[in-house]
Every structure is written in structure tokens, then in C-alpha cells.
């Protein structure tokens, strides 16, 4: 672990979430955190894709034909394309790709399946612009779970599937049945000093807001329990010290058992979506570099971007 990671680790919960767990404060805090991570490395503009408001992020290097449909994290209750501009811009910079970041509807105002419906609509609209062989679906945390749920729904509907998926610390099991919810409860730096029970209480509220009338085990809500067969290749990156570790490790096991090409990258000592901190952390930059290499090998590329690191 780098010196910077050791210095940042004790402050991560305050840095990301603050001290007030109200939904309004969490939403404001994530937007504020997102602004801190932005660097002037890509251009962006507000667009509408299939009627869904989005942000289009474009590279400043020579563009490739790779297009990323990016689904932001935030436990389905918070976050926006704006909060994730910094992270998405770092991915765009590395690939010379274009990215569309979807402003899907949030819970609790719009419970499941509103968010997944918006993501499906945006994907289908992008197919009018982009070949599926050049299209990548990516997301972090809840956005990683949404990316998986979206592609599963597209597979079931017979739509052309993307070249691959890139999932960062995906939230795939909203029942929280994995062992890491216990084993990592005293390790994860995002768990408050008061202990796991207060943290799980917050997660209960977020899950209840999203699932609406459905059970949390519904495969559209927790895609870990879905049929994972015939999906495109999947790259999963997860922190070795995070509460959601088993959401990724079990996903990788089940996807591989279903015959899916899956690569699991567990980063020792890292926490939930540490890639957000690429302006400061070498571990975050390394993870995004690995993801760019993975995507470039699987998506159709017609130009090589200039390396900026």
C-alpha cells in the first residue's frame, strides 16, 4: 500500500460521506466529493439519449471508436453524471473513448425498475450510433450492479450485447448475504466507528428505497442471483478490505461456472471504488490502467490514444 493510501485511509468515511447520514446530506456530499476528483483531462456536454438526460464525455487525444455507457454509483439513491465526471474522464483519457453517463432515475422517488429501464433505453439508443462490438457497459458500486442487471435484461430480450463489462466494486447482492459483510466489518474504512450495525441500518434504508414492492433477492435488483450465462466478458475490480468484497468474488465464481469469461482483480488494502481517487492514489491509477488495457483488447478499436501517464 502506498504512503498516500495509508494517509487517506483513516479519513475516507468523513471524506466521502461526512457525518450526517440523511439522504439530502449524502446526495450533497457525493456531489461535493465528485467535484474534488475532477481534472481538466476531457470535455463534456449535456445530451439526451433516447429521451434520458445524460452527459457525454469526449477525449482530447485522438479519439478511438470505443464508446462507454457509464452507470454511476450511489446506492441507487444518490449520485449523478456530474458526481462521476472525474472518474469517467480518467477512463476516457486512457482509452481515447467517448462515454455517455446516464442520469437514471433515483430511489426512493423512483424505485426499481425505473433505473434499469432508463439504462436499457439509453443502451438501445446508443446502438443507433455505435456498433455493439465497440460498446462497453461500465459502472461503479450500484452502477456496477445496474450495468450487470441491464446487460442481463438486454440478453433476455435478444438485444445485441456489448463487447465487455467493466465493474468497479459492484453491488450485486442487496440481500447482503455474503460473508464479507461480517468479516470486513472491522476492516472497511467506510464503516463508522460506531460499528457495523449503524452502517447496515443506513444500507437497509437505501435498499428499501430502491427495491420498492419487490424483494431484495429479485434478480433484477440483485443480479448475483440471475442466470449469468451467455454474457460478454466481465472485468471486476474490488477492494480487498471492503464490505462488498463477496459481491464480487461470488459473482466471479458464478459467472465463470456459467461459462462467462471473467477477470477478477482484488486490490489488497483498498476500499470501495478507490479508483475515484486517481488524482492522488497510484493504486487507483494502476487499476484504471489495467481496465483500459482490458477494454482495448476486447472492444473494436480503430485508433490508439496518446498515453498521458
Told to judge if 272 belongs to the known catalytic residues of this protein, a careful annotator would answer: yes
Which of 64, 169, 180, 242 does the annotation list as catalytic? 242
Specify the residue for cell string 439513491. Answer: 77
Told to judge if 72 belongs to the known catalytic residues of this protein, a careful annotator would answer: no
Half-sphere exposure of 97 (CA within 13 A, CB side): 29
Which of 54, 248, 272, 283 does the annotation list as catalytic? 272
Would you tell me how many other CB atoms lie within 10 Å of the CB of residue 296?
18
Which of 64, 80, 141, 246 does the annotation list as catalytic? 141
Told to judge if 242 belongs to the known catalytic residues of this protein, a careful annotator would answer: yes
Contact 96, 303 (CB under 8 A): yes
User: What positions carry a catalytic annotation?
Assistant: 141, 242, 272
Amino acid at each position: 500500500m502506498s504512503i498516500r493510501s495509508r494517509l487517506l485511509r483513516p479519513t475516507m468515511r468523513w471524506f466521502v460521506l461526512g457525518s450526517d447520514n440523511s439522504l439530502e446530506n449524502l446526495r450533497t456530499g457525493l456531489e461535493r466529493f465528485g467535484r474534488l476528483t475532477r481534472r481538466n483531462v476531457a470535455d463534456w456536454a449535456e445530451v439526451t439519449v433516447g429521451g434520458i438526460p445524460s452527459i457525454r464525455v469526449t477525449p482530447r487525444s485522438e479519439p478511438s471508436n470505443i464508446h462507454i455507457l457509464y452507470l454511476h454509483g450511489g446506492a441507487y439513491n444518490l449520485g449523478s453524471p456530474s458526481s462521476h465526471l472525474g472518474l469517467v474522464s480518467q477512463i476516457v483519457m486512457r482509452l481515447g473513448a467517448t462515454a455517455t453517463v446516464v442520469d437514471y432515475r433515483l430511489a426512493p422517488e423512483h424505485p426499481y425498475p425505473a433505473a434499469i429501464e432508463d439504462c436499457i433505453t439509453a443502451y438501445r439508443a446508443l446502438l443507433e450510433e455505435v456498433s455493439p462490438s465497440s460498446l462497453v457497459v461500465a459502472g461503479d458500486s450500484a452502477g456496477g450492479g445496474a450495468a450487470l442487471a441491464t446487460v442481463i435484461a438486454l440478453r433476455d430480450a435478444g438485444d445485441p450485447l456489448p463487447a465487455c463489462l467493466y465493474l468497479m466494486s459492484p453491488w450485486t447482492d442487496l440481500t447482503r448475504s455474503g460473508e464479507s459483510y461480517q468479516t470486513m466489518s472491522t476492516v472497511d474504512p467506510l464503516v463508522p466507528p460506531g460499528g457495523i450495525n449503524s452502517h447496515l441500518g443506513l444500507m437497509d434504508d437505501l435498499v428499501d428505497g430502491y427495491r420498492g414492492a419487490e424483494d431484495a433477492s429479485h434478480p433484477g435488483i440483485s443480479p448475483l442471483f440471475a442466470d449469468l450465462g451467455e454474457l460478454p466478458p466481465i472485468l471486476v475490480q474490488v477492494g480487498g478490505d471492503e464490505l462488498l468484497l463477496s459481491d464480487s468474488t461470488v459473482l466471479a465464481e458464478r459467472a465463470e461456472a456459467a461459462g462467462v469469461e471473467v477477470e477478477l482483480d482484488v486490490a489488497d488494502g483498498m476500499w470501495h471504488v478507490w479508483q475515484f481517487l486517481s488524482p492522488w492514489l497510484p493504486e487507483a491509477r494502476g487499476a484504471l490502467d489495467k481496465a483500459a488495457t482490458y477494454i482495448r483488447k476486447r472492444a473494436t478499436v480503430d485508433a490508439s490514444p496518446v498515453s498521458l501517464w
